Amino acid sequence: MKKVLNTVAAGALACACLVGQAQAETLRVLTSWDQSFPTVSQVLTAFTDHLEENVEDLDMPVSGPETIPPFEQFDPVSRGLFDVLFTIGSYHYNSLGIGMALDTLKGDLDDWREAGILDYVDQEYQKRGMKLLAILVDPGGYQVVLKEPLTGDALAGRKIRGTPSYHAALNNLGASPVVLPGSEIYPALERGTVDGAAWPIIGTVAFRWYEVADYIMRPSFGQSTYLVLVNLDTWNGLDEETRQQIETAAHDFEPTASDIFRGIVDGEVETLKENGMQETELTEDQAAALQQGWFVGQMDLAATVSPDEVARLRELAEEAGLTY
């Protein structure tokens, strides 16, 4: 009888362990950058750690672009090959343009929530099989590095590297935009093929452009919005308590993400200056033209593929005074 009881007890313990294992949730994360990029190593890692610490039995293993290239990630995640995508809107604007349009808006996440913008963006992503879980904002945004300082006429007559999303902003300052991949910017600056380059503040140090350019234009412009998207079937398959815990933890982390980004940006700018780069300033009117051009350029580019969605986003932003 004792042997039977021991057997039953052992079986019950095994069942309890299996139940515990069944309750554990694994959300497989795909990111558009590898661990060498500070946004992944410092921001995304802190985000997944925070969720694992605050959501019971949650595990979030991360895979990078070596698995699926950055511009091809949206569709596989929306079909469930991964559960979570950490990316930026411009990497999938051919599927939905409003993600990249967020980079242009005034205000912070609280302002966007109050204006109904985040609910609307989430609604549109859900139509495409994705749930918008969080937005991690880099307030530092974008800058232009230059070989020579500004002389009062902004960028008139200068050839500045910039993808199409920068073109309206550069045109507003009189520049001639030149499209080049990131890997070709260093030799183009070195040879004088271009006079400068537009790029996010984060990343300039890694490319070592301080060796071939001496100035960083100020002020910076825009802000970078990193999206955390969850496969909608995965999200709906979680129990209500788990969804609530994840959403609460994700939103609680958003201000922390911006603080981490500020530290990264400050460190990058300090390194650039330590390596000899100096700031060169636009006038107040020129800075306003730059910011307005960035807003128009991003919005118009996003509208080429999502005209109705971008029009509604602009309407919500204008009503709340969040446009340029």
Reported as a single tens digit per residue, the pLDDT across 206-234 is 999 999 999 999 999 999 999 999 999 99
| CA gap 147, 159 in Å, rounded | 11
| CA gap 245, 51 in Å, rounded | 9
Q: How confident is the model at residue 15 (pLDDT cuts 50, 70, 90)?
A: very low
What pTM was computed for the model?
A: 0.89
| CA gap 300, 297 in Å, rounded | 5
Q: Reduce the DSSP state of residue 178 to 3 states and report it.
A: strand
Output the CA torsion sign for 250, 252, 254, 260.
negative
**Residues in CB range of 302: below 8 A, 6 or more apart:** 89, 93, 97, 98, 100, 101, 310
Q: CB count, 10 Å around CB of 179?
A: 11
CB 37, CB 203: distance < 8 Å: yes
Q: For residue 18, what pLDDT is reported?
A: 43
Instruction: For residue 221, give the nearest of 276, 168, 300 by alpha carbon.
Output: 168
Q: How confident is the model at residue 24 (pLDDT cuts 50, 70, 90)?
A: confident
Instruction: Write down all domains in the chain, each with its CATH number in brackets.
Output: 27-139+223-265 (3.40.190.170), 142-222+277-304 (3.40.190.10)
Q: Reduce the DSSP state of residue 196 to 3 states and report it.
A: strand
| CA gap 138, 226 in Å, rounded | 8
| CA gap 197, 131 in Å, rounded | 34
Q: CB count, 10 Å around CB of 236?
A: 11
**DSSP-derived secondary structure for 277-289:** -EEEEPPHHHHHH
Mean pLDDT of 78-92: 96
The answer, yes or no, to whether the previous bond of 219 is cis (omega within 30 of 0) is yes
Give 198's strand partners: 144
Structure tokens at 132: 């918008």
Does the pLDDT at position 176 exceed 60?
Answer: yes
| CA gap 300, 168 in Å, rounded | 9
Q: For residue 1, what pLDDT is reported?
A: 45
CB 179, CB 122: distance < 8 Å: no
**DSSP-derived secondary structure for 227-239:** EEEEEHHHHHHS-
Mean pLDDT of 303-314: 96
Which of 9-23, 37-51, 236-250 is predicted with the least confidence, judged by mean pLDDT?
9-23
